[in-house]
């Protein structure tokens, strides 16, 4: 019997994942990954409640349950990386780094070393012989977050939810009476629950006030509490009153200045050509040609011409994309196959 270690976060998706694998005849062990337990001012980290919920489901299913403590490695590979990127003025995606470094590297290796044959998670994605495929539910598809996972890891991973919609998952969880069937999805920073990015970063970086400047006129419109907190296309949190809404169209980290405009079609907000670095391909590196491109999770897929350059890859998209920001991931698809992607350069 195939032994599968299921990453159980205490949510409905991973709970149903474990239930389905039990029903399919696998020897299932639930594993809670303790990645982060630190409280923040005014916000208690929900890890203990999530652990308790995962345990309750494991008891319901009659499966073994373990806790793997990756907190030290998580801080180093995910949290420190994210803070460094924001301090450099870029916009990283910690979920992608978590999948690359923790769930499909640390967890996989620890599970295999502990006697597992495979691992499984509640991600909405599909695999076929190490090929990563988009999920049935296009609104929940999570292949964008998985593009940096290796082919070897995918060959040893099960994604039981890939052929279901979120609504179907909720219904199936309720039908099985799973404790987490009605549990709400966590929002905010991936590892600290409902707290926002600004609140999180405030605990780790030293910031200073600076000017908010109208890009067109050069006029100072207001003050901000740190350029690190603002990202391209942002509208809320500027506290600039009156008239048309302002959007962030740029920032200078050295001068600690944030530039804004009322022009939604400001050229700084739209990019048709992208430069990618730190590329990762799940299978073979794609040859030059036309592919589908996604510049952020849930952004529409758009056609783009991919070409290799001396420093990485260049993409010319069929239509300009709004607020494509340095540090974000750009993911490449061929039909339903997620081929990989890279990090958007400045």
pLDDT digits (tens, 9 = 90+) for 29-85: 999 999 988 877 777 788 899 999 999 999 999 999 999 999 999 999 999 999 999
Distance of CA 336 to the CA centre of its chain: 19
pTM of the model: 0.94
pLDDT at residue 330 greater than cutoff 70 = yes
Q: What does the pLDDT read at residue 185?
A: 81
Taking the CA atoms of residue 239, residue 244, residue 248 and residue 254 in that order, the dihedral angle to the nearest 10 degrees is: -60
Question: Who's near 242: CB < 8 A, 6+ residues apart?
Answer: none
Q: What is the DSSP annotation of 200-223?
A: HHHTT-----EEEEETTT--EEEE
- pLDDT bucket at 210, cuts 50 / 70 / 90: very high
Q: Which of 8, 61, 98, 133 is catalytic?
A: 98
Domain total of the chain: 3
Query: Both 44 and 121 in a single domain?
Result: yes
Query: Both 257 and 285 in a single domain?
Result: no
Query: Both 100 and 224 in a single domain?
Result: no
pLDDT at residue 234 greater than cutoff 70 = yes
Q: Report the 10 Å Cβ neighbour count for 244.
A: 9
Query: Both 319 and 220 in a single domain?
Result: no
Residue 292 lies in a domain: yes
Ramachandran region, residue 200 (left: φ > 0; alpha: ψ -120 to 50; beta: rest): alpha
Residue 26 lies in a domain: yes
Residue 151 lies in a domain: yes
Query: Both 42 and 19 in a single domain?
Result: yes
Q: Residue 64: beta bridge partners? A: 29
Lowest model confidence (mean pLDDT) among 23-27, 59-63, 237-241 = 237-241
Q: Per residue in 137-170, pLDDT tens? A: 999 999 999 999 999 999 999 999 999 999 999 9
Q: 101 by DSSP, 3-state: which?
A: helix
- pLDDT bucket at 191, cuts 50 / 70 / 90: low
Residue 180 lies in a domain: no
Mean pLDDT of all residues in 322-342: 97
Active site residue 45: no
Query: Both 93 and 229 in a single domain?
Result: no
Q: Residue 314: beta bridge partners? A: 275, 307
Query: Both 231 and 317 in a single domain?
Result: no
Q: Is the distance from CB of 180 to CB of 53 less than 8 angstroms?
A: yes
Residue 193 lies in a domain: no
| Distance between CA atoms of residues 99 and 71, nearest Å | 14
Query: Both 252 and 123 in a single domain?
Result: no
- pLDDT bucket at 200, cuts 50 / 70 / 90: confident
Query: Both 286 and 237 in a single domain?
Result: no
When the pLDDT of each residue in the chain is averaged and rounded to a whole number, the result is 94
Cite the beta strand spans of the chain per DSSP E.
3-7, 27-34, 64-69, 118-120, 126-128, 131-133, 157-158, 210-214, 220-224, 247-252, 257-261, 270-281, 289-294, 302-308, 313-322, 329-334, 337-344
Q: What does the pLDDT read at residue 302?
A: 97
pLDDT at residue 287 greater than cutoff 60 = yes
Residue 28 lies in a domain: yes
- pLDDT bucket at 265, cuts 50 / 70 / 90: confident
Residue 62 lies in a domain: yes
Query: Both 72 and 163 in a single domain?
Result: yes
CATH number, residue 106: 3.40.50.620
pLDDT at residue 192 greater than cutoff 60 = no
Q: Which of 51, 83, 154, 190 is catalytic?
A: 190
Question: Who's near 157: CB < 8 A, 6+ residues apart?
Answer: 104, 108, 118, 119, 120, 121, 127, 149
CATH number, residue 225: 2.30.30.280
Mean pLDDT of all residues in 191-218: 84
Mean pLDDT of all residues in 314-333: 96
Query: Both 309 and 171 in a single domain?
Result: no
CATH number, residue 275: 2.40.30.10
Question: Who's near 2: CB < 8 A, 6+ residues apart?
Answer: 26, 27, 117, 118
Q: Is the distance from CB of 51 to CB of 67 less than 8 angstroms?
A: yes
Q: Residue 323: which domain range?
A: 271-344
Active site residue 98: yes
Mean pLDDT of all residues in 119-137: 96
Residue 185 lies in a domain: no
Query: Both 22 and 131 in a single domain?
Result: yes
Q: What does the pLDDT read at residue 193?
A: 58
């Amino acid at each position: 019997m195939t032994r599968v270690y299921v990453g159980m976060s205490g949510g409905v998706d991973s709970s149903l994942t474990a239930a389905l694998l039990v029903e399919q005849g696998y020897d299932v062990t639930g594993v809670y990954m303790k990645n982060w337990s630190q409280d923040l001012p005014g916000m208690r980290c929900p890890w203990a409640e999530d652990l308790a919920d995962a345990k309750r489901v494991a008891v319901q299913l009659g499966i073994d349950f373990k806790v793997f403590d990756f907190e030290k490695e998580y801080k180093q590979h995910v949290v420190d990386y994210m803070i460094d990127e924001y301090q450099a003025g870029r916009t990283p995606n910690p979920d992608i780094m978590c999948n690359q470094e923790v769930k499909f590297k640390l967890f996989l290796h620890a599970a295999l070393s502990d006697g597992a044959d495979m691992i499984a998670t509640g991600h909405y994605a599909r695999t076929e012989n190490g090929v990563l495929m988009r999920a049935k539910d296009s609104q929940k598809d999570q292949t964008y977050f998985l593009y940096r996972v290796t082919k070897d890891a995918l060959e040893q991973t099960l994604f039981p939810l890939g052929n279901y919609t979120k609504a179907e998952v909720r219904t199936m969880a309720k039908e099985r009476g799973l404790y987490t069937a009605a549990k709400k999805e966590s929002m905010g920073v991936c590892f600290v629950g409902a707290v926002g990015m600004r609140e999180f970063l405030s605990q780790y970086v030293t910031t200073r006030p600076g000017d908010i400047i109208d890009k067109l006129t050069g006029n100072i419109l207001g003050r901000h509490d740190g350029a690190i907190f603002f990202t391209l296309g942002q509208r809320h949190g500027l506290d600039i009153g009156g008239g048309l809404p302002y959007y962030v169209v740029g920032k200078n980290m050295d001068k600690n200045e944030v530039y804004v405009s009322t022009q939604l079609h400001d050229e700084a907000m739209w990019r048709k050509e992208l430069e990618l670095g730190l590329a990762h391909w799940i299978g073979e590196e794609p040859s030059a040609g036309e592919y589908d491109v996604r510049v952020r999770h849930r952004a529409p897929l758009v056609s783009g011409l991919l070409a290799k350059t001396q420093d990485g890859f260049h993409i010319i998209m069929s239509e300009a994309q709004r607020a494509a920001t340095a540090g974000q991931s750009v993911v490449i698809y061929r039909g339903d196959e997620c081929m990989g992607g890279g990090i958007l350069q400045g």
